Structure 1
Amino acid sequence: MADTSRVSVGTWRDLLGPTHLGASTVLAGGVLLYATNEFLTISLMPSAVADIGGQRFYAWVTTVYLVASVIAATLVHPLLMRLGARWAYLSGLSVFAVGSLGCALAPTMELLLVGRTVQGAAGGLLAGLGYAVINTALPSGLWTRASALVSAMWGVGTLVGPSAGGLFAQFGSWRWAFGVLVALTVAMAVLVPFVLPGRSATARIDAPRLRIPLWSLLLLGAAALLVSTAGIPHDVRATAALLAAGAAVVAVFVFVDRRAAVAVLPPSTFGAGPLKWIYATLGLLMAATMVDMYVPLFGQRLAGMAPVVAGFFGAVLSVGWTGGEISSASLRRTQVITRTVGAAPLVMAAGLTVGMVSLRDEMSPGWAALWALGLLVTGTGIGVAWPHLSAWAMSRVDDPAEGPAAAAAINTVQLICGAFGAGLAGVVVNLTDAGDATAARCLFAGFAGFVAVGVIASTRSGRAPTG
């Protein structure tokens, strides 16, 4: 039997006690800044658009943030190896503060997008550092609990972000929300030199160059931006041309990534196994959640909700996602898990359909409650599938050595497909917006049909690898 008597497992009291509280705060705080900022902005956007205009760029606020963050996330390891934990964090926090200040002061939507791009790049770096620095900032006995703490910040962000954004919007102070982010970032930066190790503890001058799938990432980012750009023209032909261009760039990405020595997707993705279907399901489900971007806007416009109430509505889908994950994680029978994942796109489609039916001009509280139920079901649909799809992605590879690459690709697929979904949502709304419920209905109906097609991928993702 293995001797486990020497294994020291720390407690929550150890992790959050005086010795390690500072490091834990920085590690968790970086991820919380990223997650909160993403959802905070969704609630602020109706107020921001009313103030500085640029509604046709509404979806870009999310798209540029996600595209920048996924590209920056690939720089975590080389930056950490060369600068060390302390200076890597200070660099990320400094850039995040600059981006947040730019958003707070932006006089036009175009400049707000610049600030969001800077925020996304720094946020992607901070989110990656939150996990990467655990083993250097904390003793090994606390690694498991620290990982759980950092992971929990995503859930906190999805709940705090929309509600906090709605609260600032309620008082007509959307700029101050970004100002508070600047203050929190500066406070965290002041703490960093005292709680994180310096360069000598983690960095190596002669560290081997870590190769990055730069071309693949640039192609994915370009495709996502083309899709978002398609929502800007008022000409349907121009929109169609841009969407076609985005699809063509995706095809080029597949061609390039399949042959690249350093790729975004592991080689098993292009084999006969189920990995490609797993990633396709993850991507489709994630893209469909981007209807949530417009929930605060439609809540204020159609139901006459106060900004803070509309902000809370923006969190309903996230609540369903979290609840779905918790309930699904207890499933043990393989057949039940496979069927649950297979049905997930249909559950999301059902929730979106309920949302579509409930959307009305001058919605009554009853219709608003039905809309909330639809959002809750939509979130539950992705929640029940997500943990199992993530586990399958790491295990259903042709070569076990591909496991780490397959795991890393989950985050890339999630963020990029979120950017694609945001862009498509912007296209639908901009093409159909007449100031009434038409755009909202088209958005929910279109995404319901879009995600329902994902059942083809979800049913195939549960197949065991052959060979």
Structure 2
Amino acid sequence: MEDLEIKKKITIMVAVMASVLFVALNQTIVGTALPMIVADIGGIHYFNWVFTAFMLASSVTAILVGKLSDIYGRKPFILAGLAIFTIGSLLNGTSDTIFQLIAYRTVQGFGGGMIMSTAFTAVGDLFPPRERGRWQGLMGASFGIASVFGPTMGGYIVDHFQWHWVFWIFLPFGVVAFFLIWRLFPQTAQSGKEPIDFAGAVLIAGTIIPLLLAFSWAGTDYAWTSPQIVGLFAISAMMLVFFIWVEGRATSPILPLHLFRNSVFTISNAVGFMMGLGMFGTIMYMPFFIQGVMGVSATQTGFIMMAMTLSNVTGSAISGHIMTATGRYKRLALAGLLVMFGGLGAAACLHVDVATWMVVVNMVVFGFGLGTCFPIFTLTVQNAVQHRLLGVATSSAQLFRQMGGTVGVAILGTIMNGLMGQKLHEITRLTEQLPERVEDQIGELTNPQVLMDHERLARIQQSIPEQTQGVFTQLIGELRDALGYALNGAFLAAACVLFVAFILTLFLKELELKTTNK
């Protein structure tokens, strides 16, 4: 594929980016619409599984397909991924129960994992490392575009149409992407004769699934020291031991262990893991600060977060262009991580009375640093391995970044809850001054989640007698302070992780970006 005419390469990249955008838009549009969907079909207690099922299926599929695409080529898997994802989207729109929705989202996860794994690897097939930076940056921009328009479109659809169209509106997009890939994408099989490592596939799935479930449930559904969480960690550790033993003896391992002896591969994936923690931690918890501490509406929150997305797209495009032009990446990576660290460090200093423009600037800084780094560490992994292992290398980079996000959200949530608990006992003294007949409301006012629901907060205030309004105002003020204090601690922890990533990157060996895939 490297020897194709540039016009055909660009046409293929348009098809690949259309596939990535199809998946990304489906992901971002669902988040806004999900509360309305659950309100219609029920199952609020299983709400998180709609995301967890997709994450588990896509994570496991991506690493497995990475190896298989090295053997049999990218085209069969990106076509299969598009077909499965499109079918999953169609089925999601027909869901009558939360369990059907979870099952169909799992189907989507299998397809999404195939698409993401092969799409980013296809860039490596089409272009040598020296030219990939620009295209990796544009691929990252696809996620940015989806993050900008997806939530807005999701909200518009559920407000003006039936929620089913959230899943159906992009079905023609998937059909067009399938047709383009089928007609334009050449077959790139390496050999097709290597044996499939079924044992390794089962064991790596057995390692990843319990680990991600443990971090998804810990601190929310179960305590960190509960038998369920400890048991999941134990199962994951046991499976990892078996996986290492099997892979060391496999003829064609699903994840060759010798890759971890390559310092560039290992350091790049470790940094990617830490970046995932910082990225998903910020995306997950910054809206809590904006809505809960600052008291800004959900719509305004979307616009503030959009600043981060747009700067992310800009940073990704600039970073990719610089790498292609200069062939250098280490200083760029260090600069991006330092900017991310600065953005999160500043977030750790935000307070209740902070001006909105300061938060926007903060988001722009963090987003630009993230965008600068985003294409780099996939490229460094690809550049450090032989081309026959391109699929394995690319999917491993995606897996570590996604696992970092899952682990990070859980750990930062635990930090936030712990710090919040320290402050809540100081707030309970104020509730004693409120009338006993508002006992239910008092219980709500000791839960920081009430700060995110401004309409419910207004209803509670209206139900409290006028003579205690001053106490109510003081209580809400202290609750906002407590939530801000807890979130500051979570952001500071994430910033420390990014600083470790910066230090680790200092030891990253800067290999010359290859000018050919041969």
TM-score, normalising length: structure 2: 0.66
What is the one-letter code of the residue matched to 1:161?
A: S
2:175 maps to what in 1? 189
Q: SS where residue 220 of structure 2 aligns?
A: coil
Change (3 A) 1:310 1:101: farther
| Of 408, 415, 436, the match for 2:402 | 415
Structure 1, unmatched stretches of 5+, are 1-6
Within-5 A mapping of 1:70-81: 70-73=59-62, 74-75=64-65, 78=68
- 1:32 deviates by 0.9
Contact 2:280–2:408 at 8 Å: present in 1 too? yes
2:21 to 25, 28, 32: 32
Which residue of 326, 344, 350 maps to 1:352?
344
Q: Confirm or deny: 8 A CA contact 1:227 1:423 kept in the other structure.
A: yes
Does the 8 Å CA contact 2:277/2:494 hold for their aligned counterparts?
Answer: no
Hey, what does 1:319 align to over in structure 2? 310
- SS state of the match for residue 358, structure 1? coil
Q: C-alpha displacement at 1:35, in angstroms?
A: 2.0
SS at match of 2:448: coil
Compute the displacement of 1:459 (Å). 1.8
Corresponding residue of 2:475: none
Are 1:264 and 2:279 counterparts? Answer: no
Unaligned runs of 5+ in 2: 421-446, 452-479, 511-518
Distance (whole Å) between structure 2 residues aligned to residue 456 and residue 53 of structure 1? 43
**1:109-157 deviation line (CA, Å, top 9, x unaligned):** 5554433322221112223344667899xxx89xx99996686344133
1:162-311 superposed matches below 5 A: 162-169=148-155, 172-173=158-159, 179-186=165-172, 188-189=174-175, 192=178, 196-197=182-183, 208-211=194-197, 213-214=200-201, 215-233=203-221, 237-238=225-226, 244-245=230-231, 248=234, 251-252=237-238, 255-259=241-245, 260-261=247-248, 262-264=253-255, 266-270=257-261, 273=263, 275-291=265-281, 292-295=283-286, 299=290, 307-311=298-302
Contact 2:312 2:368 in 1 (8 A): yes
Distance 2:393 2:348 in 1: 36
Show the counterpart of 2:84. Answer: 95
Structure 1 residues 169, 428: closer, same or farther in 2, change over 3 A?
Answer: farther
**Number of residues paired by the alignment?**
439
CA contact (8 A) 2:343 2:365 kept: yes
CA contact (8 A) 2:339 2:366 kept: yes
AA at the equivalent of 2:448: A
Q: How does 1:30-109 map to 2 (within 5 A)?
A: 30-45=19-34, 60-73=49-62, 74-75=64-65, 78=68, 85=75, 91-106=80-95
Q: CA contact under 8 A between 2:210 and 2:233: conserved in structure 1? A: no
CA gap of 1:165–1:115, structure 2 versus 1, over 3 A, is: farther
Post-superposition shift, 1:288?
Answer: 1.7
Write out aligned runs for 1:115-154 (5 A). 115-130=104-119, 152-154=138-140
| Preserved CA contact (<8 Å) 1:324 1:384 | yes
More divergent stretch after superposition (201-210 vs 414-423): 201-210
State the 1:251 CA deviation.
4.5
CA offset at residue 63 of structure 1?
A: 4.0
1:453 has 2:497 as partner: yes
1:183 deviates by 4.0
Describe the SS at the equivalent of 1:453.
helix
Are 2:54 and 1:10 aligned? no
Once the two structures are TM-superposed, the CA of residue 452 in structure 1 deviates from its matched residue by 0.9
CA distance in 2, matches of 1:175, 1:249: 45
Is this contact kept in 2: 1:60–1:422, CA < 8 A?
no
Pairwise mapping of residues 435-450 of structure 1 onto structure 2 (< 5 A)?
435=449, 436=451, 437=480, 438=482, 442-443=486-487, 445-450=489-494
1:379 aligns with 2:370: no
Pair 1:123–1:297, CA change in 2 (3 A): farther
Alpha-carbon contact 1:282-1:414 (below 8 Å) kept:
yes
**Paired position in structure 2 for 1:4:** none
C-alpha distance in 2, partners of 1:26/1:252? 41
Contact 1:230 1:243 survives alignment (8 Å): yes
Percent identical pairs in the alignment equals 18
Once residues 255 and 13 of structure 2 are traced to their aligned partners in structure 1, the CA distance between those partners, rounded to angstroms, is 30
Q: CA deviation at 1:99?
A: 2.8
Give the structure 1 partner of residue 506 of structure 2: 462
Worse-superposed segment, 183-192 or 24-33 = 183-192
Q: With structure 1 as the length reference, what TM-score do the two structures score?
A: 0.71
1:264 partner SS: coil
Distance 2:369 2:311 in 1: 8
Query: CA offset at residue 303 of structure 1?
Result: 5.2
1:71 counterpart letter in structure 2: V
Structure 1 residues 148 and 328: alpha-carbon distance in aligned structure 2, compared to 1, 3 A threshold: closer
Q: Compared with structure 1, are the counterparts of its residues 393 and 155 closer, same or farther at alpha carbon in structure 2 (3 Å cutoff)? A: same
What is the RMSD computed on CA atoms of the aligned residues? 4.9
Is the 1:274–1:461 Cα contact (8 Å) retained in structure 2?
no
Q: Is the 8 A contact 1:354 1:374 kept in 2?
A: yes
CA contact (8 A) 1:348 1:448 kept: no
Residues 412 and 394 (structure 1 numbering): CA distance in 2 closer, same or farther, change over 3 Å? same
Q: Counterparts of 2:372 and 2:265 in 1: how far apart (Å)?
A: 19
Asked if the contact 1:101/1:182 (under 8 Å) is kept, the reply is yes
**Secondary structure in structure 2 of the residue aligned to 1:196:** helix
**1:148-167, Cα deviation, whole Å (9 max, x unpaired):** 66863441332333433234
